[in-house]
Structure 1
Amino acid sequence: MIKITNKSKCCGCEACSQICPKKCITMKPDEEGFMYPIVDESICINCGLCEKTCPELNLQENKNPIDVFAAINPNAEIRFKSSSGGVFFYLAEKIINQGGAVIGACYDKNWRVKHEVAYTLDDVQKMRGSKYVQSRMNDVYLQTKKLLQNGIPVLFSGTSCQIMALKLFLNKEYDKLLAVELICAGVPSPLLWSKYLKEEVYPKINSSQPSQEISNIEFREKSKGWKNFRIVISSKRATTHIVSDFNYENSFFSCVLKRAVQRYSCYSCPAKAGRSNSDITLGDFWNYQSDDIIVDDDRGVSVVLANTEKGIHFLEGLTLTRREFGEVMMKNPASVKSGMCSVYRKNFYKRINHKSVREEMAFLKRHVLIRRIVNKLLRLIHVNYLLKY
């Protein structure tokens, strides 16, 4: 039976609630807005299936990829509208053309993030683009299993823990499953995202139902470049954007960048470094050095880790250039290791009960700057001491 005594040992993948044959596990938000499993012990039969699907209880060995590439979608328009190089959409298109289904994260009508199943490229469009909020999984593990059992090809995309949870849930290999892992630096709480929308977005919309007036949310809009992306929230009516902030200016994203808002398990992720057993791992190839095949035109370049022969097969047709794994680990370290927990994480969610997200952003920026100045002074004092003695 799943019992959460240490919140850093639950990644919120929701596999336990979907595998339970008695449906006695429900996911409930804690005071920070992160989902955790609650077991109705009165109907639990102690079958142990929940424990067998838990990434935290079934740790794997680290594995290096078979091959490593920089990649871009050959369609420039698709690449421009994607977060990085447009590889996810390329893979999704292949699966849809095979009569398959694509499972990934999208927004619901209230701009909460959830996983859904898409059977057309129009529906896949909703899954494009990064979403810096933990996704609700609903019943997608169950749907994936049913599709595969019926012989339907499936592309399942998600964070490392979600892919690992899916593999444990299925408990067997399926030739028609393409598991695509997204490099993740940790997920913020849906509560924080909701608070940001209510405080900074909805007041700008003249409507009794402001969420219904939003037409699109892009965390990684690239009109000013891939490296200098903006968060853009568009209105159905207005010709101007409701929000158009560079990432470092936006109050929500600034808190994310300070590593003060992530789920506790994200600081010690159980599924990075090849442990998710994905076929392909995708992310941004930051600080990419151009070569004769792919030139960095600031429209986005993907890093692609091919973890299985199946994964390599699906990459055929992309514009690829082979790179070293060491280069990827250096330029996108989130591919192999978790970020450090900020000293401000412990009380962050308590503080935002009394402060706005923007006030908390200002607090973090001010205190981080003070710490940097103090640390620099301490280093200078240490160097001067060594030189003197």
Structure 2
Amino acid sequence: MIKITDKSKCCGCEACSQICPKKCITMKPDEEGFMYPIVDESICINCGLCEKTCPELNLQENKNPIDVFAAINPNAEIRLKSSSGGVFFYLAEKIINQGGAVIGACYDKNWRVKHEVAYTLDDVQKMRGSKYVQSRMNDVYLQTKKLLQNGIPVLFSGTSCQIMALKLFLNKEYDKLLAVELICAGVPSPLLWSKYLKEEVYPKINSSQPSQEISNIEFREKSKGWKNFRIVISSKRATTHIVSDFNYENSFFSCVLKRAVQRYSCYSCPAKAGRSNSDITLGDFWNYQSDDIIVDDDRGVSVVLANTEKGIHFLEGLTLTRREFGEVMMKNPASVKSGTCSVYRKNFYKRINHKSVREEMAFLKRHVLIRRIVNKLLRLIRVNYLLKY
């Protein structure tokens, strides 16, 4: 039976609630807005399936990828509308053309993030672009299993823990499953995202139902370049954007970058470094150095880790250039290791109970700057002391 006594040992993947044959496990938000399993012990039969699907209880060995690439979608327009190099959409298109289904994160009508099943490229469009909020999984593990049992090809995309949870849930390999892991630096709470929308977005919309007036949310809009991306929230009516902030200006995104808002398990992720058993791992190839095959035109370049032969097969047709794994680990360390937990994480969600997200952003920026100055002074004092003595 799943019992959460240490919140850093639950990644919120929701696999336990979906595999329970008695449906006695429900996901409930804690005071920070993160979902955790609650077991109705009165109907639990102690079958142990929940424990067998838990990434935290079934740790794997680290594995290096078979091959490593920088990659871009050959269609420049698709790449411009994608977070990185447009590889996810390319893979999704292949699966849809095979009569398959694509499962990934999208927004619901209230702009909460959830996983859904898409059977057309039009529906896949909703899954494009990064979403810096933990998604609700609903019943997608069950749907994935049913599709695969019926012989339907499936591309399942998600964070490392979600992919690992899926593999444990299925408990067998399926030739028609393409598991695509997205490099993740940790997920913020849906509560923080909701608070940001209510404080900084909805007041700008003249409507009794402001969420219904939003047409699109892009965390990684590239009109000013891939490296200098903006957070853009568009209106159905107005020609101007409701929000158009560079990433370092946006209060929500700034809090994310300070590493003070992530789920506790994200600081010790159980599924990174090849442990998720994905076929392909995708992310940004930051600080990419151009070569004769792929030139960095600031429209986005993806890092692609091919973890299985199946994964390599699906990459055919992309513009690829082989790279060293060490280069990827240096330029996108989140591919293999968790980020450090900010000293401001412990009380962050308590503070935003009586502060706005923007006030908290200012607090974090100010205090992080002070700590950097103090640490630099301490290093200088230490160096001077060593030189003197």
Q: TM-score, normalised by structure 1?
A: 1.00
Matched residue, 1:211: 211
Residue 92 of structure 2: SS of its match in structure 1?
A: helix
Deviations 1:200-240 (A, max 9, x none): 00000000000000000000000000000000000000010
Residue 201 of structure 1: SS of its match in structure 2?
A: helix
Matched residue, 1:191: 191
CA distance in 2, matches of 1:167, 1:347: 34
Moved more, 253-262 or 377-386: 377-386
Residue 378 of structure 2: SS of its match in structure 1?
A: helix
Deviations 1:248-291 (A, max 9, x none): 00000000000000000000000000000000000000000000
Q: How far off its partner does 1:387 sit?
A: 1.3
Residue 38 of structure 1: SS of its match in structure 2?
A: strand
Q: Given the alignment of the two structures, is residue 104 of structure 1 paired with residue 104 of structure 2, yes or no?
A: yes
Residue 41 of structure 1: SS of its match in structure 2?
A: coil
Matched residue, 1:75: 75
Deviations 1:282-337 (A, max 9, x none): 00000000000000000000000000000000000000000000000000000000
CA distance in 2, matches of 1:118, 1:372: 46
Deviations 1:346-365 (A, max 9, x none): 00000000000000000000
User: Which of structure 1's runs of 4+ aligned residues deviate more than 3 A?
Assistant: none
Matched residue, 2:43: 43
CA distance in 1, matches of 2:370, 2:313: 50
Deviations 1:11-67 (A, max 9, x none): 000000000000000000000000000000000000000000000000000000000
Deviations 1:152-180 (A, max 9, x none): 00000000000000000000000000000
Fraction of identical pairs, as percent: 99
CA distance in 2, matches of 1:271, 1:375: 32
CA distance in 1, matches of 2:62, 2:380: 39
CA distance in 1, matches of 2:388, 2:26: 64
Deviations 1:110-158 (A, max 9, x none): 0000000000000000000000000000000000000000000000000
Q: How far off its partner does 1:388 sit?
A: 1.1
Q: How far off its partner does 1:101 sit?
A: 0.1
CA distance in 2, matches of 1:216, 1:338: 30
CA distance in 2, matches of 1:174, 1:137: 20
Q: How far off its partner does 1:386 sit?
A: 1.1
CA distance in 2, matches of 1:188, 1:51: 25
Residue 104 of structure 1: SS of its match in structure 2?
A: strand
Matches within 5 A, 1:217-228: 217-228=217-228
Matched residue, 2:320: 320
Q: How far off its partner does 1:338 sit?
A: 0.1
CA distance in 2, matches of 1:328, 1:88: 18
Matched residue, 2:175: 175
Q: Given the alignment of the two structures, is residue 235 of structure 1 paired with residue 239 of structure 2, yes or no?
A: no
Matched residue, 2:373: 373
> Which stretches in structure 2 are left out of the alignment for 5+ residues?
none
CA distance in 1, matches of 2:154, 2:377: 55
CA distance in 1, matches of 2:372, 2:20: 48
CA RMSD of aligned residues (A): 0.2
CA distance in 2, matches of 1:388, 1:99: 73
CA distance in 1, matches of 2:13, 2:253: 23
Residue 187 of structure 2: SS of its match in structure 1?
A: coil
Residue 303 of structure 1: SS of its match in structure 2?
A: strand
CA distance in 1, matches of 2:94, 2:386: 62
Residue 93 of structure 1: SS of its match in structure 2?
A: helix
CA distance in 2, matches of 1:381, 1:61: 43
Residue 298 of structure 2: SS of its match in structure 1?
A: coil
Aligned length: 389
CA distance in 2, matches of 1:380, 1:148: 60
> Which stretches in structure 1 are left out of the alignment for 5+ residues?
none
Matches within 5 A, 1:1-389: 1-389=1-389
